[in-house]
Every structure is written in C-alpha cells, then in structure tokens.
Amino acid sequence: MTIRILLADDQHLVRAGLAALLNLEDDLHVVAQLPDGTGVVDAIREHTIDVAVLDIEMPDVDGITATGQINQAYGDDVAILILTTFGRAGYLQRAMASGARGFMVKDAPAEQLAEAIRSVHAGGRAVDPVLAAEALSAGTNPLTDRECDVLREALVGASVKHIAARLHLSAGTVRNHLSAAIGKTQTTNRTEAARVAQQNGWL
C-alpha cells in the first residue's frame, strides 16, 4: 500500500529535496506540494492525502495553524507530521496540542523521516526523543493567548499604541498584558519577554 503525502514548506529547495528523498521509498509518494499552509484542507481532499508533512515556520498560514485546520476537517483520517529547523520545546507542545502525531527536526536522516511517516500513518506517534525530553523539562507555556498576541507584536518593535490598534484593545490593557508577560518570562522589558517567548516556541 502506498502512503500518499502532502508536503508544505516555504523553502522550495528544501521541499523539492524532501520530496525527492521520500519518493525513493517504495511505499511513499509525495503527490502534492505547497509553499505554506494556505489551502491544505482543499489540497488534502483533492489529492486523497494520507499524511501531511508540514514545516512549522511558514508565511501566511504556519504549520501549527494548518495542523489545527486539518485536524478539525479530517480528524484521525489524515495524520500530521511537523518538521522544524528550530527544535523548540514550545513548538512541540503546541503542535501536539493542535493534533499532530509527529514532530521531527529537518536535519534528521531521510530513513528516520520515512519511518516517522509510516508510524504516524499507522496511528502511532513519532517525536524526536531529544525534543521530547526538552519539552518535559521546559514545562508548559505560562502565557495566555492574549499575552502571546501582544508579544508577537512587540517582537517586531510595535509601540503600545500600535499594538492596541492592531488587537482592538485599550492601551492600558496592552500594558497590563505586557507587564504580566514580563513577569512570567522573568525579564525586564517587553523586547526581552518577546525574545524569550519566541526562543521557547510559545509564539
């Protein structure tokens, strides 16, 4: 039986390379490729996909958002494997919470990636063991969804006024969220808080 795969990665050379490696396996066939998570639900339906392999950091629709959309539309009928260049514990936690069955780093050997695809297709899980250990030791994300939203804006240097306008909040509410996030990340300002949150994969 051939496992039909959708591959989504914003780096064309990486995507093409992964597709070529996976297609060398007798039981794996990459039948669809996308530059980001936009349109994954429709592509899965059109190509009768068994496993979606998604990069985590993509423009427009990232891998975690796409995972949630696929899981909502197809449930257990489509297995999802997340690939990442950045092995961040928070990414793993968010991906699995969104419905992914696997989480691997991009520099894993091709044979290991192929086995991970087979494993999630069979209903199992495939998680990089080093990342799994780091995720357990890191604990859960202490930030609320709104605090994450505010820090994403702070990460690009947005002012309190701009953040308030973007998120439809009052300036006072934005300051409260920033203050709470700074305390939870044990930092001294919003720029540091945003950087720590990003490094942990919480954003």
CATH number at residue 14: 3.40.50.2300
For residues 89 and 149, state if they share a domain: no
For residues 158 and 189, state if they share a domain: yes
Residue 55 — φ and ψ, nearest 5°?
A: -70, 150
User: What average pLDDT does the structure give for the chain?
Assistant: 90
**Exposure b/e, 68-84, CB count within 10 A at least 16 = b:** bbbbeebeeebbbbbbb
pLDDT band at 1 (very low <50, low <70, confident <90, very high): confident
Domain end position, chosen among 138, 158, 183: 138
Residue 4's closest CA among 14, 196, 25?
25
Supply the pLDDT for residue 134.
Answer: 65
Lowest mean pLDDT among 55-59, 76-80, 132-136, 180-184: 132-136
Residues 6+ apart with CB under 8 A from 115: 126
CATH number of the domain that 195 lies in? 1.10.10.10
Angle at alpha carbon of residue 201, lines to 126 and 183, rounded to 5°: 140
For residues 64 and 104, state if they share a domain: yes
Task: Give 59's Cβ-side CA count (13 Å radius).
Answer: 3
For residues 119 and 162, state if they share a domain: no
For residue 107, count CB atoms less than 10 angstroms from its CB and return exposed for 0-12, middle for 13-18, buried for 19 or more.
Answer: exposed
For residues 66 and 116, state if they share a domain: yes
For residues 115 and 174, state if they share a domain: no
For residue 167, count CB atoms less than 10 angstroms from its CB and return exposed for 0-12, middle for 13-18, buried for 19 or more.
Answer: middle
Q: Is the pLDDT of residue 25 over 90?
A: yes
Q: Is the pLDDT of residue 135 over 70?
A: no
For residues 134 and 102, state if they share a domain: yes
For residue 129, the surrounding DSSP H or E stretch is helix 129-138
DSSP annotation of 185: T
For residues 88 and 110, state if they share a domain: yes
Tokens of 114: 């192929």
For residues 167 and 186, state if they share a domain: yes
State how many domains the chain has.
Answer: 2
For residues 21 and 119, state if they share a domain: yes
Specify the higher pLDDT residue, 198 or 101. 101
Domain end position, chosen among 86, 114, 138: 138
pLDDT band at 87 (very low <50, low <70, confident <90, very high): low
Q: What is the pTM of this model?
A: 0.70
Supply the pLDDT for residue 92.
Answer: 81
DSSP annotation of 60: S
Domain end position, chosen among 138, 158, 188: 138
What is the average per-residue pLDDT within 86-101?
82
**Domain around 43:** 3-138
Strand, coil or helix: 128? coil
Residue 50 — φ and ψ, nearest 5°?
A: -95, -40
For residues 130 and 171, state if they share a domain: no
Give alpha helix (H) positions in 12-128.
12-22, 40-47, 63-74, 89-98, 110-121
Tokens of 4: 């039909």
For residues 104 and 194, state if they share a domain: no
